[in-house]
Amino acid sequence: MSIASRTLWMVICTLALALPARAANPAPNASGTLKVNGRTTTLQYAYAFRDSKGVTRVMISGQPLPQDTLASEAALGIAGQKPSPFRDRVQKGESSAIELFIRPDGVLDTVVLFERSFQTPTPSGGDEVYWYEPYTMPAGWTGGRARTRERQEFFDTKWEYEVSYFAPIGQKGFEVPAAAAIAAQRTQVETREKARIVQPGGGEEGAMYLAFYKLMEAGNTKALLDQMTATMKSAVASQMQVPALTPSDLASWAMMHGVPPGKVEIVGGVRDAGGTILELRRTTERRVRFGTAKIVKEGGRWKVAEENW
C-alpha cells in the first residue's frame, strides 16, 4: 500500500471513530394497528406515566419517540389546539399514534387519535366505543389490550384500532423504557396473559352463555333458572319485588327486558379469579349492540352471574 493510500485509510478510520454511534431502536413493547381511511400504522412502542389525578396515560406510536417529544406531549395532554414538533409531524403524515387515558378504577375513559386525517389530536371516549382488558402487572407497570368495538366514523373519517401493550409507569412523565426491563417483562406478560385473555368464541364459558341466551329466546324459564347463579336470582327477585324467583317471575322479567331475535357472538373477554367476563355482540336487523356477561363456577358448573346489554 502506498503512502497516499495508507494516509487516506487512516483518515477514513479516524472519521469513522469520530462519528457518534447511531442508537438502536428500543425494543417494541406494543403490538397492534391503527387504521384510518385505508391507511394502516403498525403500533409498536408504548410509553406510560400517571398524572396528578391518578389517570394512567399511555402513548402508543408506530415509531420510537425521543424523550423531548415525550416530555412535550406529557405536558400538553388532550389540548388539541396546542402545537408541538410531534403534532406537526403527524399533520405531515410522518407520524401516527394513539394515547389512552385510563382512570384509577381501570376503566379506559378516553383515546386520543394522532393521525393526519384528523386536523388536531382528536379525543374519543365511552364504553360503547372500546373494549379494554387491563393486564395483571407488577407495581410500577401498566399493560392491557384495547380495541374499538367496531369501525368508527368521524364525519368523512373512518377509523379503528387494536393494540396490546405493557410499559413501566414514569414518575414525572413518559419515559423511554430500558430494553432489559422490557425483555424481562415480555416473557412473564405473554405467559400470564395467554391464559387470562378470552379468544373469540369464549371457550367453555362462551358455549355456556350461548346456551343460556337460547333458553332466554325460547322462553324456557324453568331451564333458565338452573343456568343462573344464586346471586343473579336474588338480584332479579329484588327487581321483581318477590321473595324467591319462580319461572313465572323470570318470564315477566325477561318480557320486561326484551330479547330481540338476532345473532349473538362472543368477541373476547378476560378470565380472573372472580370469574370470566365475556364481551358480547348482538346483531339484529336494525342495529348492532354490545354487552357483557359474567360467568362463574357454582357447584362445579359454569353459570351466569351478571348480564348487561
Q: What percent of the chain clears pLDDT 70, i.e. is strictly above it?
A: 89
- In degrees, to the nearest 5, what angle opens at C-alpha 141 toward C-alphas 125 and 88? 50
Beta strand pairing call for 152-154 and 141-148:
unpaired
Residue 129 is assigned to a structural domain of this protein: yes
Integer Cα distance of 142 and 148 in angstroms: 20
* pLDDT at residue 243, as a whole number: 93
User: By C-alpha distance, which of 129, 175, 182, 176 is closest to 152?
Assistant: 129
Structural Rg of the chain based on CA atoms: 25
Integer Cα distance of 210 and 197 in angstroms: 19
Domain that holds residue 73: 30-195
Integer Cα distance of 65 and 238 in angstroms: 54
Residue 4 is assigned to a structural domain of this protein: no
In degrees and rounded to multiples of 5, residue 217 shows phi and psi of -60, -40
Same domain, yes or no: 70 and 135: yes
* pLDDT at residue 9, as a whole number: 44
Q: Residue 127: pLDDT band by 50, 70, 90 thresholds?
A: low
Same domain, yes or no: 187 and 210: no
* pLDDT at residue 245, as a whole number: 92
Residue pair 78/205 in contact by the 8 Å Cβ criterion = no
Residue 282 is assigned to a structural domain of this protein: yes
Question: How many folded domains does the chain comprise?
Answer: 2
User: By C-alpha distance, which of 158, 100, 153 is closest to 131?
Assistant: 100
Residue 125 has pLDDT above 90, yes or no: no
Q: Residue 228: pLDDT band by 50, 70, 90 thresholds?
A: very high
Integer Cα distance of 278 and 280 in angstroms: 6
When pLDDT is averaged across residues 39-56 and rounded to a whole number, the result is 96
Residue pair 122/96 in contact by the 8 Å Cβ criterion = no
Residue 150 is assigned to a structural domain of this protein: yes
* pLDDT at residue 80, as a whole number: 56
Residue 298 has pLDDT above 90, yes or no: yes
* pLDDT at residue 258, as a whole number: 67
Query: Across the chain, where does the E strand assignment appear?
Result: 30-36, 39-43, 45-50, 56-61, 97-102, 108-114, 122-125, 130-134, 141-148, 152-154, 157-170, 197-198, 263-272, 275-283, 288-298, 301-308
C-alpha cell at 250: 323470570
Residue 45 is assigned to a structural domain of this protein: yes
**pTM of this structure:** 0.81
Which alpha helices (H) appear in 197-291, and where do they start and end?
203-218, 221-225, 230-240, 247-257
Integer Cα distance of 290 and 264 in angstroms: 9
* pLDDT at residue 81, as a whole number: 64
Residue 21 has pLDDT above 60, yes or no: no
Q: Give the least confident one: 24-28, 131-135, 180-184.
A: 24-28
Residue 12 has pLDDT above 50, yes or no: no
* pLDDT at residue 124, as a whole number: 87
Residue 171 has pLDDT above 50, yes or no: yes
Q: Mark which of 148, 178, 195 sits at the end of a domain.
A: 195
* pLDDT at residue 179, as a whole number: 92
User: By C-alpha distance, which of 65, 48, 66 is closest to 57?
Assistant: 48
Same domain, yes or no: 134 and 280: no
**What SS3 state is found at 124?**
strand
Q: Residue 24: pLDDT band by 50, 70, 90 thresholds?
A: low
Summary mean pLDDT of the chain: 88
Residue 295 is assigned to a structural domain of this protein: yes
Q: Mark which of 151, 167, 195 sits at the end of a domain.
A: 195
Q: Mark which of 195, 214, 229 sits at the end of a domain.
A: 195
Q: Residue 260: pLDDT band by 50, 70, 90 thresholds?
A: low
